[in-house]
Amino acid sequence: MITLFKVAMNENAGKSVSDVLQSGFIGQGPRVEEFEQALRDRLGHPHLVTVNSATSGLHLALHMAAKTRPTPADATAEVLTTPLTCTATNWPILANGLRIRWVDIDPTTLNIDIDDLARKISPRTRAIMVVHWAGYPVDLDRLADVLEEAEQRLGFRPAVIEDCAHAWGATFQGLPLGRHGNIAVYSFQAIKHLTSGDGGLVVFPDQQSADRARLLRWFGIDRTRSDSFRCAEDIPEYGFKFHMNDINAAIGLANLGDVDGHVARHRENAAYFDTHLQGVPGVTLLDRKPDRESAAWLYTLLAERRSDFIARLAARNIAASPVHQRNDVHGCVSEYGASLPMLDSVADRIVSIPCGWWVTNAEREHIVDVIREGW
């Protein structure tokens, strides 16, 4: 079976982990600091902190945004977000006691519809969550214009949190995600481009926010102080147990050297599909614009009679899946129901096919041949 996902693990990761296990220090320590510095160098951005998962990173970012700007006493704070994503994007909104307001999607990219987003920003908006679906960046210029308009109209600029779980290596106008003035959260979960076993990264627009997050990820305690002072110091703002440990950091460091090659291969396979699936009956390809470069973590297309499409590929040893269920169908968010006609128009056709670093030239040709045969 040609799989949709595979763990990318450098052969030296085991030795790196063993060294940590024998060091006598396996919590948040020197390897976390080393990993963070390597990530600063890679992204070209100094204001970041690692966490134990991207979900924790999103929770932390929302917590910080929610405590930055008070909402009117008679309003309930909302987060504008897309339902087309992993539940890990949206459940932290609920965990922070905030209300979800669904925004429709752009059916040509499966990213959030920025025009619908602009219509829904209100005095109740505490934050905006955007997801770079499959690693293809949202139009961050258009989003910045919408934020500017909102600030002029409402007197405040909502915090933007970019969920970059699919998007390690993606760029917008030549810059890595996280360098466009928003909060960006990356995932280092098992099957991502860059894995640390599990873990995440939060990139902030300024040093003050990063310093605050560094405290809040570990109960609000300043870990730079010695143990004798740390246990006695005051904690002015409570925090969480969201820190990364040296075991995960060692895995991440071992894998960091391979990730550029893996992303490049994903892109090569995606470009092949863009060329060879163009015009195939029953298949609609997503848009690509020259001002951004996708991480191509997934290769998603729209297929007529999706269940038949998936069954046909499975019969020829090719995995295919929608990957994520739209979040607005779940009972725990039933009170937030909204009309989302663009998502409705494509939801039953969304499907992803294998495009990862493990997919060989012969296998990608096989995938194209099977799709071209029909289903």
Looking up tokens 């908006």, which residue turns up? 125
What single letter denotes the amino acid at residue 200?
G
Helices (H), 130-206: 140-154
Task: Classify burial at 348, counting beta carbons within 10 Å of its beta carbon; exposed 0-12, middle 13-18, buried 19 or more.
Answer: middle
Cα distance between residue 185 and residue 130, in whole Å: 11
Q: 15, 120, 192, 241: which is the annotated catalytic residue?
A: 192
Q: At what angle do helices 306-315 and 361-373 cross, to 10 degrees?
A: 130
CA 179 from centre of chain: 15
Asked if residues 206 and 48 have their Cβ atoms less than 8 Å apart, the reply is no
Q: Is 241 a catalytic residue?
A: no
Helices (H), the chain: 13-23, 30-43, 54-66, 87-95, 114-120, 140-154, 207-216, 227-230, 246-256, 259-276, 306-315, 341-346, 361-373
Q: Strand order of the sheet with strand 48-51?
A: 48-51, 200-203, 183-187, 159-163, 125-131, 78-81, 99-102
Active site residues: 192
